[in-house]
Amino acid sequence: MPIIKDHKTDGLPFSDSPKLKARNVNVFYGEKQAIYDVSLDIGANEVIALIGPSGCGKSTFLRCLNRMNDTIEICRVDGQILLDDDDIYGSKVDVVPLRARVGMVFQKPNPFPKSIFDNVAYGPRIHGLVEHRDELHEIVENSLKRAGLWNEVKDRLHAPGTGLSGGQQQRLCIARTIAVDPEVILMDEPCSALDPIATAKIEELIDELRENYTIAIVTHSMQQAARVSQRTAYFHMGQLIEVNPTDLVFTTPQHSLTEAYITGRFG
Amino acid sequence: MTDQQLTTRAKVERSMTRRRRAEMRFRAYGVMSIAFGLLCLVVLFSNILGQGLSTFRQTVLEVNLHIDGDALGISRQSSEAEISAADYETLLKNFMREKAGATSRDDRRLAGTLVSVGAPWQIRDAVLANTDVIGDHLRLEIIMDDDVDQWYKHDRDIGQPGRLKDNQIKWLESWIADGSLHTRFNTTFFVNGDSREPELAGIRGAIAGSLLTMLVTFLLSFPIGVAAAIYLEEFAPRNRMTEIVEININNLAAVPSITFGLLGLAIFIGLFGVARSTPLVGGLVLTLMTLPTIIISGRAAIKAVPPSIREAALGLGASRMQMVFHHVLPLALPGMLTGTIIGMAQALGETAPLLMVGMIAFVVDVPNFISDPATVLPVQIFLWSDSPERAFTERTSGAIIVLLAFLIVMNTAAVWLRRRLERRW
């Protein structure tokens, strides 16, 4: 049962120029319901932060957006999620091209145990984005540049990606994601395993990426949400409590639960 | 307050002696079990090596034989068939009688039995290889009878006659003195197939049979096992059916191997009519036996691949198959190979199921193909261990040494492969 009966999300869950639209999404793990009736828009070229205490369903919701939840057998998703008005849970949708359009960066840096070059080149290769080696080189170089990693690795592109530091590995994973040229990037606590300096670099990068991509980021750090996002969505026990412009959420939260969370009374 | 602290400390101190002693005891048990294991190993190896190493030496008599073309009824121009058919046995017997200086009827018989019954063929082969020796002299190391071989290698040192008569020993001693009787490396053991005569029996047939059987086993069990492991681990839906399959595979690994032999007999030979006693049917049976090992170790290797790698691949839009073949399989392969080699090593040492499909037959010829009748090393060992001749006991241990050498090489290869292919992340 949801903790608040018949809750309607406070604030502004909808956007004028939505890239992704979630409508009445319910997620179940077997018998247990993890998400209750969430409706949310993610606007084009915006960074939206999903915050909330552990187990509130923010990661689960994020993973619905590129159907990564499909890998969990007992997981069932109800409701509609539209990417540019196409239902991504439609019966004819293949998850492979969907995930090429909606990329994902994970909590723990997870480069393949291959060279830096092959890590970034993998996506373009499997999707057949390039015809010649030169093109591939170009994509790899551009992706690494956009991820702010090029200068650090340009001399050792054929060294294993796993030999990089944690922060570099995470930027490599971001480069790998943008090499496929997705429209949306989902980030699941991308900085939780990184030190403050590496975190600062990634946050800077997110800010730059906003020009070209739509980004949804799950984070445990309220400072991070405040720094990188334009809108913030607060999840609580599987319900979407409030969505508002970030500065509003952190100064004058609308809902008492949001206020309790950002003032540190739980979480 | 101070009192309380002191008593707590005292209590801890008191319990420490007990804990230390328990720890010492536990360590001592560990050392003892390791020592016991090592002792068993030493006993096993010293026993087998002590009995078997002499197999690799063979007693031979160096002779300078006059190939009397007239007596044999052949000349240098004779055809191959004629040369093959000539009576070398009499030639050799006469030569031995002369060399021994035997005159009495008994002595003449005794002199003739000193050499192996295979010795005349040795002469024939040498003559066939070089017909120029007809009418001339042929230098040859003649294989001696197994009684002579055993006496020379074992009984002579302790002054025992073995199965030889006094006169025979007298002649042999004189030949040892002039250097014509000596031992050499036992090539016969490695180039011959099985034989009723221990001095002529070799393991080449069994090795060829083992290799062919292993080939069949590997070619079938590796692809099937790996495919099954991948399917069960990555693609199969988690339902009752899969669960039943999994439980059965795990149980199959514990089924007594002779059961697989019965199954092979009923299905492969009885139902499908595959020829018995062949590496093909043996390999099929061993495939059944090896599959559970390969599947279980393969699944463990696949499970050990971190889920983050799978997520990374899927998140980039790789299909399930691309994820498996580009990322999971390369990382799991070393573990799979190790499991396979260990399974193959098991199969190489397996005897019981092969008895059921007729690989226990006495096969003299070396098999060339998987459909030729053959036996395998462990079955050869089993066959020889049943023979009454002392020389076969020696050969049993000799063959065990060869089998152990193969197993050690295979296991070392498994370890080496694992180290070599393992990738860290």
* Domain locations along chain B: 2-53, 57-199, 204-421
**Whether B423 contacts chain A with CB within 8 A:** yes
Q: What is the mean pLDDT of chain A?
A: 91
- The 3-state secondary structure of B286-301 reads HHHHHHHHHHHHHHHH
DSSP H stretches of helix in B304-358: 307-315, 320-323, 329-348, 352-356
Question: Complex ipTM, two decimals?
Answer: 0.89
Tell me the mean pLDDT in the region B163-187.
92
pLDDT in tens, B230-258: 999 999 888 899 999 999 999 998 899 99
Per-residue model confidence (pLDDT) at position B303:
94
Structural domain count of chain A: 1
pLDDT over 90 (residue B298): yes
How far the first Cα of chain B sits from its last, in Å, is 54
Q: Which of A71, A118, A119 best tests the B interface by mutation, with the highest count of B CBs <10 A?
A: A71
SS3 content of chain A, % helix, strand, coil (to 5): 35, 25, 35
Any domain includes A3: no
Q: Are A247 and A227 in contact (CB under 8 A)?
A: no
B253: closest CA of chain A, how far (Å): 28
Q: How far apart are CA B121 and CA B115, in angstroms?
A: 12
pLDDT at A146: 87
Q: In degrees rounded to 5, what are phi and psi of residue B21? A: -65, -45
Cβ A111 vs Cβ B316: under 8 Å:
no
Mean pLDDT of A82-88: 91
pLDDT single digits (tens) B93-129: 999 999 998 889 999 999 989 999 999 999 999 999 9
Helix then strand count (H, E) for chain A reads 10, 11
Three-state secondary structure of A221-262: CHHHHHHHCCEEEEEECCEEEEEEEHHHHHHCCCCHHHHHHH
Q: Give the residue from B183, B189, B148, B182 showing the smallest Cα distance to B165.
A: B148
Query: CA-CA distance, A26 to A57, in Å (whole number)?
Result: 11
pLDDT band at B319 (very low <50, low <70, confident <90, very high): very high
Query: What residues contact residue B387 under an 8 Å CB cut-off, 6+ apart?
Result: B198, B393
Instruction: Please report the pLDDT score of residue B2 as a whole number.
Output: 58
User: Is residue B421 within 8 angstroms of chain A, CB to CB?
Assistant: no
Beta carbons of B237 and A73 less than 8 Å apart: yes
Say yes or no for a CB contact (<8 Å) between B316 and A96.
Answer: no
State residue A28's pLDDT score: 94
* Residue B234 CB contacts under 8 Å (≥ 6 apart), including other chains: B302, B320, B323, B324, B328
Strand-pair partners of A77:
A27
- Measured between beta carbons, the chain A residues lying within 8 angstroms of B317 are 95-100, 103, 123, 126-127, 180
**B371: closest CA of chain A, how far (Å):** 45
Q: B311: which chain A residues are within 8 Å (Cβ-Cβ)? A: 68, 71, 104, 106, 110
CATH code for the structural domain at B204-421:
1.10.3720.10
Q: Where does the pLDDT of residue B217 fall: very low under 50, low under 70, confident under 90, or very high at 90 and above?
A: very high
Binary contact (A176, B316; C-beta < 8 A)? yes
Q: Please state, for a pLDDT cut of 90, what percent of chain B lies above it.
A: 73
**How confident is residue B425, by pLDDT bands cut at 50, 70 and 90?**
very low
B329 near A CB under 8 A: no
User: Would you say residue A4 has pLDDT above 90?
Assistant: no
Which chain A residues touch B322 with a CB distance below 8 Å? 126
Contacts of A66 in chain B (CB under 8 A): 315
Q: How confident is the model at residue B3 (pLDDT cuts 50, 70, 90)?
A: low
Q: Would the CB atoms of A71 and B310 count as touching at under 8 Å?
A: yes
pLDDT in tens, B327-371: 999 999 988 988 999 899 999 999 999 999 988 888 888 999 999
The dihedral region occupied by B356, where left means phi > 0, alpha psi between -120 and 50, and beta the remainder, is alpha
Q: What is the mean pLDDT of chain B?
A: 91
Average pLDDT of the segment spanning A175-200: 91
Chain A hits for B327, CB-CB cut-off 8 Å, are: 112
Residue B260, pLDDT score = 93
Shortest alpha-carbon distance between residue B311 and chain A (Å): 8
Locate A76 and state its tokens: 């069932």
* Segment A163-183 mean pLDDT: 93
Whether residue B143 is predicted with pLDDT greater than 90 in this model: the reply is yes
Residue type, A99: R
Q: Which residue of B has its CA nearest to A186?
A: B315
d(CA B309, CA B328): 8
Tally DSSP H helices, then E strands, for chain B.
Answer: 19, 3
Mutate to test the interface with B, among A59, A63, A73, A104 (most CBs of B within 10 A): A104
Half-sphere exposure of B381 (CA within 13 A, CB side): 21
Q: Looking at the partner chain, which of A96, A98, A110 has a beta carbon nearest the beta carbon of B309?
A: A110
Does residue A80 lie within any of the structural domains?
A: yes
| The two three-digit tokens of residue B232, written as one number | 């069960």
Is the confidence at residue B158, as pLDDT, over 60? Answer: yes
Helix axes B88-100, B119-129, angle to 10 degrees: 110
CB contact A99 to B (< 8 Å): yes
* pLDDT at position B17 over 80: yes
Inside any domain, residue A4? no
Domain span holding position A51: 10-262
Give the span between the Cα atoms of B414 and B424, in whole angstroms. 18
CB contact under 8 Å between B424 and A162, yes or no, is yes
Q: Is residue A5 part of a domain?
A: no
Structure tokens at A87: 């239902």
pLDDT value of position B423 = 62
Q: Domain holding A203: CATH number?
A: 3.40.50.300
Domain annotation covers residue A70: yes
Residue B420 pLDDT exceeds 90: no
A104 to B425: CB separation less than 8 angstroms, yes or no: no
